[in-house]
Amino acid sequence: MTRSGPGISVLQGTALTLGAVLGTGVISLPAIAAAKAGPASLIAWAALLLVSIPLAATFAALGTRYPGGGGVTTYARLAFGDHAATALGCAFFLTIGVGAPVAAGFAGEYVADALGRGRGTTLAVSAAIILVVTTLNWFGIRLSARVQLGIAILLAGVLAVTVLVALPHAHAGNLRPFAPHGLHGVVAAAGALVWAFAGWEIMASVTGEYENPARDIPRAAAATLVIVAVLYLGVAFATTAVLGARPGRAPLSELLVAGVGEAARPVMTVVALLLTVGTMNSYFAGASRLGAALARERSLPRWLDERGEPRRALAVIAALALGTLGVMALTHSGTERTLLATTGAFAMAYLVATLAAVRLLPRGTAGWYAALASVLASIGLVVATGRAVLIPVAIGLAGALWAWLSKREPAAPLPPAPLPELG
């Protein structure tokens, strides 16, 4: 990537990376993790933050060696060939629709909580968010990078304020028993929390934009790690210590209400809605383009290949999302399976990317050793997601088989998989 002007600073790089990592998960995952592991969910948060250290170093090394970057599909193609990249791309494209109701449902819970309503309201709001995001993308309406970044910075500020005003209401008794569900609960919590830690690979995509990459990338990575650690651990601890074993459907609202009063609830609801619509808007945009590119190389049915706005691929994503939501409504099931299927796709993407890094980076360098550590960490993430990881694996293998049977070489490199947007 060639810069047309002055490179980005450490502060700007930190903000970009922070905007990729922070996302919809933080508004609800602390409560989900606490329900699975109790106060011991803090161990899961800390473990995933430790995993983030070699991951960040690995993607920084990949980006430095391959500036301008791409994403995990690019590294899969360079290291393992077209079929591996195709499998990963298909897994992402078709898993996005399954995971969309989870992201929308996080915000739906906040609206239902603010209105004092139940599951029906949550489902209705989730459907409305999916339709709004689909409509925006249908007409090619994008939120600018500055708006996306502003939403992430707003979220970071709200999280910090929420933790600070809630902590005086913490009770030591809420931390006992510390591990009511044992080690199994901690592993289950870690599997769900993978959602909150997607986004580190964005570092590789912007390395060519830094004025002094060798100096500034490590600084931006370190700064982002510190900020994320403080915010995530702060929210996780406050959720457990203040709200106890039953943190409710909208934990950040409950924390802010505990600190400043009931008037804070609608404010947090608006923040949750803005964050979710903004994140899902860019996610649907990237995913629909990925679907069109996969169709262009015959990895998906040819009718999905469109020039201009990829509306057919977008329609498939929306149909999958609404269909998944409909199944959840009819079966009265929660989001756990769909959440784990999506986090399984994230974990597999990290595993493929870090295996690629071991192959692509010079042996014996700091980046290569970070990639080795990341491979082991990624294997742990895959194991933590459990059998649900088989869903994206099966989808990816089916896509690769389709491409092989069609006996067509890819017409163009796949665009980056839209992993950074969830966080």
| CA–centroid distance for 296 within its chain | 26
Q: What is the pLDDT of residue 417?
A: 47
DSSP codes, 47-60: HHHHHHHHHHHHHH
Q: What is the pLDDT of residue 16?
A: 75
Structural domains in the chain, sorted by start: 10-421 (1.20.1740.10)
Q: What is the pLDDT of residue 208?
A: 67
- Which tens digits make up the pLDDT trace of 123-176? 999 999 999 999 988 987 766 556 767 777 888 888 899 999 999 999 999 998
Give me the long-range contacts of 227-233 (CB less than 8 A, separation at least 24): 227/14, 227/18, 227/156, 228/18, 228/21, 228/22, 228/49, 228/52, 229/49, 230/160, 231/22, 231/26, 231/156, 231/159, 231/160, 231/163, 232/26, 232/45, 232/49, 232/196, 233/42, 233/45, 233/46, 233/49
> Any idea which residue has 């609404």 for tokens?
322
Partners of residue 8 on adjacent β-strands: 210
Low-confidence ranges of the chain (pLDDT < 70): 1-7, 67-71, 142-146, 148, 202-208, 407-423
Q: What is the pLDDT of residue 2?
A: 45
- Which tens digits make up the pLDDT trace of 25-79? 888 899 899 989 999 999 999 999 999 999 988 988 887 787 655 568 888 888 9
Q: What is the pLDDT of residue 419?
A: 46
Q: What is the pLDDT of residue 142?
A: 65
State the CB neighbour count (10 A cutoff) for residue 327.
13
